[in-house]
Amino acid sequence: MATAQKTLASGYGWSVSDVVCTAAAGDKPFEEEHGNFCIAAVSRGTFRYRTRQGTAMLAPGAILLGNPGACYECGHEHGAGDRCLSFHFSPAYLERVVAELPRAKRLGFADPRLPPLPSLTPVLAEAEAARERGDNEAFEELGLRIAGAVVAAASGPPRMARTPSRRDQKRVAEAVRLIELNAEWPLSLAELAVQTATSPYHFLRIFRHVAGMTPYQFLLRTRLHRAAVRLLTSDTAVSTIAFDAGFNDLSTFNRRFRRQMGEAPGAYRSRRAGR
């Protein structure tokens, strides 16, 4: 499998890497092993992840979860390549994080992934912006914030239901690619269902099951995430960023951005861009 891994930053008990995989559908997956706890944020592409906790299809915004010593396999039957920000934590490091969280009672992940969650969107946008800016000093703080947020989110009951069929995973992967390529344009549920050769109702059901959110929620999350990263990495006007991302008017963008990120675009840029 063609994977390039670049360590961006590291410290005592933690590290973060930019992982780019160029594997295609015809490439045979091979088994690897997690050396430490792994929390990997998918920023591009889709792939199948199989480990002892189960099997899941991962798409942008999802979080891959890995336990030390667990063997795993990644496959690209439904698309070529992906990119992740992969955080690795020693058991002692993550144990200290768990000790600070009231709801976290165990050290270890019961599920193979977390779906895209609104609570994680702001910090993941900051992490991706730090990667694009080369601001590697920011990753110590960002890694700790991501670890805490992920452990807290994963501390509830297991989220994964039955493993989706490979046909359903393929359909959702095709829809995810279509949304990524056309996020700035209007995309209806009916159009996406036609592209995946299924009915709108069945498509909505399998997309939510596989991706952890509805197609519209994923489209909106993609637009807001791209806008957030651009706010942190450029001086482009907020209105231009909003229209380029696919929002028809600035007020709608401001309202949705505030709801997702907890503050207005201008305040988000001025408070966080300098980190």
Using CA atoms, how far apart are residues 131 and 235, in angstroms rounded to an integer?
A: 17
1 or 207, greater pLDDT: 207
Query: Does residue 91 form part of some domain?
Result: yes
What residue numbers bound the domain in which 246 lies?
166-272
What confidence tier does 161 reach under pLDDT thresholds 50, 70, 90?
low
Residue bearing tokens 């609570």: 119
Under 8 Å between Cβ of 109 and 154: yes
pLDDT at position 271, please?
Answer: 76
Q: Say if residue 162's pLDDT is above 70.
A: no
Listed residues 134, 154, 174: the one ending a domain: 154
What confidence tier does 272 reach under pLDDT thresholds 50, 70, 90?
low
Residues 69 and 187 in one domain: no
For the chain, report the end-to-end CA distance as a whole number of angstroms: 35
Total domain count, the chain? 2
Q: Say if residue 133's pLDDT is above 90.
A: no
Strand, coil or helix: 232: helix
**Domain containing 222 — which CATH number?**
1.10.10.60
Secondary structure letter of residue 164 according to DSSP: P
Residues 240 and 190 in one domain: yes
What confidence tier does 78 reach under pLDDT thresholds 50, 70, 90?
low
Using CA atoms, how far apart are residues 26 and 78, in angstroms rounded to an integer?
A: 10
Query: Does residue 193 form part of some domain?
Result: yes
Residues 14 and 137 in one domain: yes
Using CA atoms, how far apart are residues 273 and 237, in angstroms rounded to an integer?
A: 14
Residues 149 and 212 in one domain: no
pLDDT in tens, 214-231: 888 899 999 999 999 999
Query: Does residue 86 form part of some domain?
Result: yes
Under 8 Å between Cβ of 55 and 110: no
Q: What is the pTM of this model?
A: 0.74
Using CA atoms, how far apart are residues 125 and 89, in angstroms rounded to an integer?
A: 20
pLDDT at position 136, please?
Answer: 85
Q: E-assigned strands of 112-268?
A: 113-114
pLDDT in tens, 237-261: 999 999 999 998 899 899 999 988 8
Residues 126 and 179 in one domain: no
pLDDT in tens, 256-267: 999 888 899 999
273 or 43, greater pLDDT: 43
